[in-house]
């Protein structure tokens, strides 16, 4: 049930609180404009905040993201709405949009929560932790992850048994089960779409055995295993808790593959796999890491050197396309592949396989606009009407795009793109005031 | 109904029924938690040893055991001579 109708106004609405949306919000807010930043998740930071390190510098992702999200959260010109979704946007006239925003209840008063985690300890429910990509459990009363922003508890109402144990131990009485869905009507002058991307679901490629073979994991699951806030004490196989010593990466899982509907390169998989391989060599010095690839695309600044560094560390690169993965009784995996250099089919045994899943468009933004059409490119990313001279412009005047909502790109490019989108939005605001 | 701060779960309980599936899963977790903690009472065990003792699938033991490590009931012990499998023991919360 939707409880309230609230009307408010802002200069800019930014949809998506990942690294691109956050950067754009800060740029616009720093020039004095009032920004409403909408995030559908419980925390801002997007996918980047869940990474271990970034390529090619191997800087700690959390160390870069945490000050950013903290600045966003306490900026006087930024109003942050988490657990929110924009349901529609109408363009009334030039420089005048009306958005409807649905705010889902968190069942915790964020301002009163001290993140003491006593509610977590008291909660008797355990469910798979989506922020650890289901490798471990979490409680129904929980803080999403240790560097979440806002750092406040939330109640997973779908899995809550309403026992009230969390309320009994809460020292500030911040848990509030009377919260309801709220609806906001917001007037804004410009919109930035920073809705990010979706990761390819490897269940769509049953020949790789994801979901069936427990030691076939995704690159995001490996990212969590490598992070300081990891689910296990070290890198372990989910099937039996063994420390793996022969790990394979399967590049282009769900990218450059017309048979699954995504013929384009995801631009990040080669480099994040090379990054993870280097981190694995550090975490497990005795492990063999093999990367099966079609082509290594090390196109960015410092990328080729990073690739050569991985080779120098002993990462094995095999130019080959994996046809099928099968499982042995001991949980080890047999990879059947075409060795492109030798032009013959081979098999290799590994005890863990990481699928380097690709980037897919997030089409959520397309259905928001009721009065104007938001055009998409042939691959369903948001169409850039003038990609050379004005890359953030979309098919709707006053609506701009930032980051991976317009196509696959890495973190530095997303931040650069956010700078472009915020500059264009500021220019639009100045021109139409 | 009058709502008292700190006792609001009662309010939602009257409006919303908890699904039987959710209740069942919670009971199952408590059962497995008790079984794992009981099994670790005498000695530190590896996942393989726990699997045999509990008659559960290995990957399920990994999931629940690691959850109990996260919740602070269990801690990681030593690794075996081959550096392959860790043992796990009850956490001394004393």
Following CA atoms A259, A291, A199, A42 in sequence, which dihedral angle do they give, to the nearest 10 degrees?
170
- The tokens for A18 are 């990942």
Is the distance from CB of B49 to CB of B58 less than 8 angstroms?
no
Q: Is the pLDDT of residue B32 over 50?
A: yes
Which residue of B lies nearest to A213 if distances are taken between CA atoms?
A: B59
Q: Is the pLDDT of residue A3 over 70?
A: no
Question: The domain A2-105+180-196+362-431 is classified under which CATH number: 3.40.50.1370, 3.30.300.30, 3.50.50.60, 3.40.50.1100?
Answer: 3.50.50.60
Residue B94: pLDDT band (50, 70, 90) is very low
Average pLDDT over residues A63-92: 95
Q: What domains does chain B contain, in order, with CATH numbers?
A: 16-90 (1.10.10.10)
List of chain A residues whose C-beta atoms are within 8 Å of the C-beta of residue B26: 124-126, 161
Quickly tell me which residue has 């939330």 as its tokens: A154
CA distance B69 to chain A (A): 8
Note the ipTM here: 0.95
Is the distance from CB of A265 to CB of A238 less than 8 angstroms?
no
Radius of gyration of chain B (CA): 18
- What is the percent of chain A with per-residue pLDDT over 90, rounded to a whole number? 96
Helix (H, G, I), strand (E, B) or coil at A168: helix
CA distance B35 to chain A (A): 15
Cβ atoms within 10 Å of A286's Cβ, excluding its own: 8
Average pLDDT over residues A388-402: 96
Task: Tell me how far CA of residue A101 lies from CA of A89, A130, A157, A187, B65, in angstroms.
Answer: 9, 24, 20, 11, 40
- Selecting from A126, A160, A238 the residue whose C-beta is nearest the C-beta of B29 gives A126
Q: In whole angstroms, what is the distance from residue A150 CA to residue A42 CA? A: 8
User: Could B48 and A240 be called an inter-chain contact, meaning their C-beta atoms sit closer than 8 Å?
Assistant: yes
CA distance B42 to chain A (A): 21
pLDDT: which is higher, A7 or A404: A404
Angle at A181 between CA A179 and CA A382, to 5 degrees: 140
Residue A6: pLDDT band (50, 70, 90) is confident
Residue B6: pLDDT band (50, 70, 90) is confident
Q: In whole angstroms, what is the distance from residue A292 CA to residue A294 CA? A: 7
The predicted structure's pLDDT at residue B93: 59
List of chain A residues whose C-beta atoms are within 8 Å of the C-beta of residue B56: none
Q: Distance from CA of residue A418 to its chain's centroid? A: 16
Is the distance from CB of A290 to CB of A247 less than 8 angstroms?
yes
- pTM higher than the cut 0.80: yes
Q: In whole angstroms, what is the distance from residue A308 CA to residue A289 CA? A: 15
Is the distance from CB of A430 to CB of A31 less than 8 angstroms?
no
Cβ contacts of A206 within 8 Å, gap of 6 or more = A212
Q: In whole angstroms, what is the distance from residue A61 CA to residue A57 CA? A: 10
**B11, B12, B51, B77: best mutation site toward chain A, by most A Cβ within 10 Å?**
B12
Interchain CB contacts (distance < 8 Å): A and B: 110
Q: Is the pLDDT of residue A4 over 80?
A: no
Q: In whole angstroms, what is the distance from residue A278 CA to residue A16 CA? A: 31
What average pLDDT does the structure give for chain B?
Answer: 93
**Structural domain spans, chain A:** 2-105+180-196+362-431, 106-177, 200-359
Tell me yes or no: is domain A106-177 CATH 3.30.70.20. yes
Among chain A, residues having any CB pair with chain B shorter than 8 Å are: 121, 124-128, 135-139, 157-164, 166-168, 170, 173, 175-178, 214, 231-234, 236, 238-243, 245, 286
DSSP alpha helix (H) spans, A216-268: 219-226
CA atoms within 13 Å, Cβ hemisphere of A360: 17
The predicted structure's pLDDT at residue B52: 95
- The tokens for A356 are 């380097």
Task: Tell me how far CA of residue A165 lies from CA of A109, A120, A127, A154, B10, in angstroms.
Answer: 17, 10, 17, 14, 11
Pairing of β A359-361 and β A197-199: antiparallel
Q: Poorest-confidence range of A257-261, A305-309, A355-359?
A: A257-261
Q: Is the pLDDT of residue B2 over 90?
A: no
Average pLDDT over residues B54-79: 96
Long-range contacts of B49-54 (CB under 8 A, 24+ apart): B50/B88
Across chain B, how many H-helices and E-strands are there? 4, 3
Q: Is the pLDDT of residue A295 over 60?
A: yes
Is the distance from CB of B70 to CB of B63 less than 8 angstroms?
no
Average pLDDT over residues B21-29: 96
Average pLDDT over residues A51-79: 95
- What is the percent of chain A with per-residue pLDDT over 70, rounded to a whole number? 99
Q: In whole angstroms, what is the distance from residue A193 CA to residue A268 CA? A: 21
Residue A2: pLDDT band (50, 70, 90) is low
- The tokens for A332 are 């080890």
Q: In whole angstroms, what is the distance from residue A19 CA to residue A418 CA? A: 9
Helix (H, G, I), strand (E, B) or coil at A79: strand
Is the distance from CB of A405 to CB of A420 less than 8 angstroms?
no
B46 touches chain A (CB under 8 A): yes
Which CATH code for domain A200-359? 3.50.50.60
The predicted structure's pLDDT at residue A7: 77
- The tokens for A172 are 């500030």
Average pLDDT over residues A10-26: 98
Q: In whole angstroms, what is the distance from residue B8 CA to residue B19 CA? A: 19
Q: In whole angstroms, what is the distance from residue B25 CA to residue A380 CA? A: 39
Give tens-digit pLDDT for A191-223. Answer: 999 999 999 999 999 999 999 999 999 999 999
Please provide the distance, in angstroms rounded to a whole number, between the alpha carbons at the two ends of chain B.
43
- Burial (CB < 10 A; 0-12, 13-18, 19+), residue B86, is buried
Q: Do domains A2-105+180-196+362-431 and A200-359 have the same CATH topology?
A: yes
């Amino acid at each position: 049930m939707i409880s309230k109708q609230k009307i408010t106004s802002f200069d800019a609405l930014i949809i998506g609180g990942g690294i691109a949306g956050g950067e754009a919000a800060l740029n616009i807010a720093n020039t004095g404009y009032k920004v409403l930043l909408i995030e559908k998740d419980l925390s801002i930071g997007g996918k980047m905040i869940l990474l271990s390190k970034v390529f090619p510098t191997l800087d700690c992702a959390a160390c870069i993201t945490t000050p950013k999200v903290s600045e966003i959260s306490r900026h006087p010109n930024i109003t942050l709405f988490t657990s929110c979704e924009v349901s529609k946007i109408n363009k009334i006239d030039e420089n005048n949009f009306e958005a409807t925003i649905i705010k889902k209840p968190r069942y915790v008063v964020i301002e009163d929560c001290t993140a003491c985690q006593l509610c977590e300890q008291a909660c008797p429910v355990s469910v798979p932790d989506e922020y650890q990509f289901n490798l471990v459990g979490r409680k129904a009363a929980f803080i999403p992850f240790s560097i979440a922003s806002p750092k406040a508890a939330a109640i997973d109402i779908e899995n809550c048994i309403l026992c009230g144990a969390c309320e009994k131990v809460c020292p500030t009485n911040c848990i509030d089960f009377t919260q309801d869905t709220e609806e906001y009507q917001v007037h804004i002058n410009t919109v930035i779409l920073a809705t990010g991307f979706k990761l390819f679901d490897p269940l769509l490629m049953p020949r790789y055995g994801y979901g069936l073979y427990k030691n076939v994991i995704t690159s995001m699951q490996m990212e969590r295993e490598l992070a300081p806030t990891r689910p296990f004490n070290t890198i372990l196989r989910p099937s039996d808790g063994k420390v793996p010593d022969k790990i394979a990466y399967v590049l282009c899982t769900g990218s450059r593959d017309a048979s699954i509907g995504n013929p384009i390169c995801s631009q990040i998989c080669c480099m994040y796999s090379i990054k993870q391989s280097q981190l694995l060599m550090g975490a497990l010095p005795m492990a063999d890491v093999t990367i099966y690839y079609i082509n290594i695309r090390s196109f960015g600044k410092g990328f080729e050197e990073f690739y050569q560094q991985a080779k120098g560390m002993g990462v094995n690169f095999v130019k080959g396309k994996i046809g099928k993965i099968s499982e042995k009784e001991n949980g080890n995996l047999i990879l059947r592949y075409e060795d492109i250099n030798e032009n013959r089919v081979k098999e290799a045994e590994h005890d863990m396989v990481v699928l380097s899943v690709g980037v897919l468009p997030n089409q959520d933004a397309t259905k928001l606009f009721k009065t104007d059409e938001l055009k998409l490119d042939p691959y369903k990313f948001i169409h850039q009407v003038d990609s050379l001279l004005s890359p953030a412009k979309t098919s709707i005047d006053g609506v701009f795009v930032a980051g991976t909502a317009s196509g696959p790109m890495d973190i530095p490019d997303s931040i650069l793109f956010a700078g472009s989108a915020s500059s264009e939005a500021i220019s639009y605001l100045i021109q139409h005031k | 109904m009058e709502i008292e701060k700190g006792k609001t779960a009662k309010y939602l309980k009257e409006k919303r029924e908890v699904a039987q599936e959710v209740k069942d899963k919670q009971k199952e977790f408590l059962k497995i938690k008790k079984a794992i903690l009981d099994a670790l009472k005498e000695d530190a065990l590896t996942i393989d040893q726990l699997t045999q003792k509990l008659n559960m699938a290995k990957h399920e033991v990994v999931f629940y055991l690691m959850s109990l490590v996260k919740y602070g009931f269990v801690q990681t012990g030593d690794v075996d001579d081959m550096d392959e499998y860790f043992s796990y023991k009850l956490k001394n919360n004393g």
